[in-house]
Structure 1
Amino acid sequence: PLHDENRIFVRHGLARLREAPSPGLKALLDATGLTDKTALCADDISYKLAPRLNAVGRLGSARLVIELLTTTSAQRAVDLARFLEQQNEQRQQLERRILARAREKLADHDLNGTPALVLADPDWHPGIVGIVASRLVELYARPVLLIALRQDRGELAAIGQGSGRSVPGFRLHEALHACSEYLLSHGGHAAAAGFKIHPDAVASFRERFCDYAARHFGTGPPVPRLIIDAEVPLSALTLGLLTDLDRLEPYGADNRRPLFLASGLQIDGAPRKVGGGERHLQFRIRQHGRTMKAVAFNMTERIAELMSAGGACSIVFTPDLNEWQGYRRVDLKVVDFQPGADARLH
């Protein structure tokens, strides 16, 4: 957790990355467009640098990441950073494909009485299923286990490699231990875990795991909640406010970004689908003469819902500093929204 001395280590580490990066990290900062930022934040690591460093290991071997971080050759660093970029793009494509297939599998099922999701497929990549499990937890608000039933070279039979993500209050590693008679191996912690399983045991394991989850939840998985820190008008979202919020950095485990509510908004124009695979929504919102750009990540499928009240909406968001060629402005990262001018809170 980002408490006490951990915050000091991370804050000074971020400054060090920006001020004196190694040749490999400098090449990676250049490749991700972070070189021109005046200061790095925790989100830059989480959403820009770490996914590229992880992609190579997820798809094959992490040896090239070690070489990138240790090389003294600027040209070799540039070549490796370019390769990591390509691997990350491939990882994103695989992630979209697995997510789409998983949602297809769930489309014909009534999920109201389903306390957990356990899905398996022979075409899934074992290095990607954990990321997709996280996305499905966000979408369906219950524990998710995904199993890649791939047969690797040299293996006589396929072995399922599974990865899971959980919801608050459901200790995933304990759930796997309770179902261990069906598993070849397992390990992890409360929020995330991995395991191996024989394909013939998947159906029985699914039944046992869902029974365990049903007993744990009783009346069903907890309804997902957003804790909103304050309601603010768009006029209050200034560069000065972002400077003050930056004092709370670095954000991370047990030190989340503040979430704000803005209501009485009107969509200005038509929302656009953006990003790889057109997964994200970009639109402009207006309130009392102030107009701002908002981006809703991984919410393309909700475009009809967004416009269902004629463009009137309320949003929960985090303000974000957008820097480009010396120009600075405040944009909004949408966490959730409701159609209609008045927010319905519980």
Structure 2
Amino acid sequence: MSLKWIYKPEPDEEIVDRISSSIGFGTLESKILVLRDIDNYQKAREFFKPKLEDIHSPFLMADMQKAVERIASAIENGEKILVYGDYDVDGTTAVALMYLYLSKIVGKKYLDFYIPDRNLEGYGVSDEGINYAKENNFSLIIALDCGIKAIDKVDYANSLGIDFIICDHHLPGDELPKAVAVLDPKRNDCRYPYKELSGCGVGFKLCQGLNTIYKIPESELYDLTDLLAISIAADIVAMTGENRVLAKLGLKTLRKTRNLGLRLLIPQEKISTFDISNIVFEIAPKINAAGRISHGKAAVKLMISENLKQAHEIVSDILDLNDSRRELDANITISATNQVVETNQENNFSTIVYHPEWNKGVIGIVASRLTEVYYKPTLVFTDGNNGEMVASARSVSDFDVHEALDLCSEYFLKFGGHQAAAGLSMEKDKFEAFKIKFEKVVAERIKEHQKEPSISIDTTIEIEDLNREFFNFHRKLAPFGPHNMKPVLELKNQKVSGYVKTMGKDGGHLKFYIHQPVSGRNIECIGFKLGDYMEDFKTKSFDLAFTVEENHWKGNVTYYLNIRDVKFH
């Protein structure tokens, strides 16, 4: 197979024994905890039994008091408020959350939302959005999941007498916009203890701050965490600290959600067991499809809808758009892959492709696909507006693509993002010079371990370790996400017990069982994209790298091993 197996260092046995005796877990379970830096009783308590009391005061965030006072003043004076957000899942859930909260306080006559058009306006705060606010007498804009670098745009709004409150979680530049308030835990001068909130999470903190004045019943405030859980999952932020508390609460809310749009979007037979991976693979792509192919405002309309007929119509449209997104994604990926070969980029340190007619809405997905194939920092360009080019960047392993692009920022009109993904725009005549510079920067900075795909193994186990106690422990580790991923475990020297059969339309996947000699049980294994190795599994022994997955059927929970990689003997 193609992955390099990297084993995590063995944790200190004394610490493992101590955590085992203090919380009553076995050695394997305690080892997994210590590898996550959960090495004492207090950390274990906070991890396994997060409480709402663990959520920090919103007023620890810089400018929170200013933001709350300005919104309160707008409400008191009957000003119109425009909730503005990005067109991706984090942005649209943030807008829906803020809109639903404010609508409990002010009439819809004084409230509206705005999502920029991806194709016509691009990412972030736009002149069109500000002009819309001016033409419709909005004197306050609350920007969510964008705005931290919108210095010129906020200046423009100020010149028109429109105030801005920014709720963002992206890295700020050297200068902050001259908004009434800039809420971003990544500000250098912000003492908020937790830095990894989603954009929707920052918006939720603002709602918490406002609720110290407006006293909406706490149950109604926390009803909005279903949207927050979706943003945390979809934006792939750290599943630690406050995010973990809010995600657990949000998943619990989501499974019983009263949000009409979400209930129609989530299959009812799955909703009671919905988890983070369901959001990432089943819900986020559908919500994103609106902004990628048509307009992100449809997603917000769905999430704030109180009209069953309207919600049904929006869901139907979104599902059609998602089908279109899949087709575009597949076709452009083929075209981009051909271009890599035709331009002899296989031996480069980076991958850069461009076509003027590729759809802007899917170039980020295509960039992700190319990193899977070539495993290099990747940029996919297409034409934007006004003769400029736009690109989505994706990275590999722990290579910081944002930092690499920042070293090339003299070529950009706009630029933003984080370590794993970024977006930018540039003038066409800068493209060739940028390609040379970016390839040079990557070549100088990329390390050997970042040049090949790898899998990090938590620990090696015995087949009999896969028992009810371990499966119960594994369930308690959820919700999973960055910095709290599912444990990747290794089983050595296994053989198939019984048959091996292919699965899927093209027989691309495998299903087989391995045997536990002591318990006498057979454990189900699923090997996605391993169909070509059917004969090897039948005839050879092997080592497995895998994660444990749950399967829910008619109220019963069973477990299977998701084979992440295999080494045949």
Is the pair's TM-score, using the shorter chain for normalization, greater than 0.5? yes
Q: State the AA in 2 paired with 1:281.
A: G
Q: Distance in 1 between matches of 2:479 and 2:447?
A: 37
Q: State the AA in 2 paired with 1:102.
A: A
2:4 is matched with none
State the TM-score, normalized to the length of structure 1.
0.82
Deviation at 1:247, TM superposition (A): 0.6
Aligned residues of 1:170 and 1:190 also touching (Cα < 8 A): yes
Q: Distance in 2 between matches of 1:307 and 1:122?
A: 44
Alignment gaps of 5+ in structure 1 = 342-346
Q: 1:245 aligns with which of 450, 454, 474?
A: 474
Percent identity between matched residues is: 25
Aligned residues of 1:238 and 1:330 also touching (Cα < 8 A): no
Q: 1:146 aligns with which of 359, 368, 380?
A: 380
Deviation at 1:207, TM superposition (A): 1.5
1:8 is matched with 245
Q: State the AA in 2 paired with 1:19.
A: K
Q: 1:304 aligns with which of 501, 524, 532?
A: 532
CA distance change for structure 1 residues 30 and 270 in 2, over 3 Å: closer, same or farther? closer
Structure 1 counterpart SS, 2:479: coil
Deviation at 1:245, TM superposition (A): 0.8
Deviation at 1:334, TM superposition (A): 3.0
Q: 1:315 aligns with which of 521, 544, 555?
A: 544
Deviation at 1:319, TM superposition (A): 1.9
Alignment partner of 1:190 is 2:424: no
Query: 1:71-82 alignment to 2 at 5 Å?
Result: 71-82=305-316
Query: 1:280-299 alignment to 2 at 5 Å?
Result: 281-288=508-515, 290=522, 292-296=524-528, 299=529
Q: 2:558 aligns with which of 320, 329, 333?
A: 329
Alignment partner of 1:34 is 2:270: yes
Q: Distance in 1 between matches of 2:257 and 2:537?
A: 50
Q: 1:25 aligns with which of 262, 266, 288?
A: 262
Aligned residues of 2:500 and 2:534 also touching (Cα < 8 A): no
Render the CA deviation track for 1:172-201: whole Å, top value 9, x for unaligned. Answer: 223222223333322212221101133343
2:337 is matched with 103
Alignment partner of 1:271 is 2:271: no
CA distance change for structure 1 residues 282 and 220 in 2, over 3 Å: closer, same or farther? closer
Q: Distance in 2 between matches of 1:107 and 1:13?
A: 45
1:136 is matched with 370
Deviates more, 1:4-13 or 1:104-113: 104-113
Deviation at 1:77, TM superposition (A): 2.1
Structure 1 counterpart SS, 2:455: coil
- Superposition CA RMSD, Å: 2.9
2:35 is matched with none
Deviates more, 1:120-129 or 1:258-267: 258-267
Alignment gaps of 5+ in structure 2 = 1-237, 517-521
2:293 is matched with 59
Q: Distance in 2 between matches of 1:105 and 1:326?
A: 49
State the TM-score, normalized to the length of structure 2.
0.52
Deviation at 1:130, TM superposition (A): 1.0
1:88 is matched with 322
Q: Distance in 1 between matches of 2:415 and 2:539?
A: 48
2:490 is matched with 261
1:207 is matched with 436
Deviation at 1:58, TM superposition (A): 1.3
Render the CA deviation track for 1:85-127: whole Å, top value 9, x for unaligned. Answer: 2222221222222222222223456666421111112332111
- Structure showing greater radius of gyration is 2
Deviation at 1:226, TM superposition (A): 1.3
Q: Distance in 2 between matches of 1:109 and 1:292?
A: 44
Q: State the AA in 2 paired with 1:253.
A: P
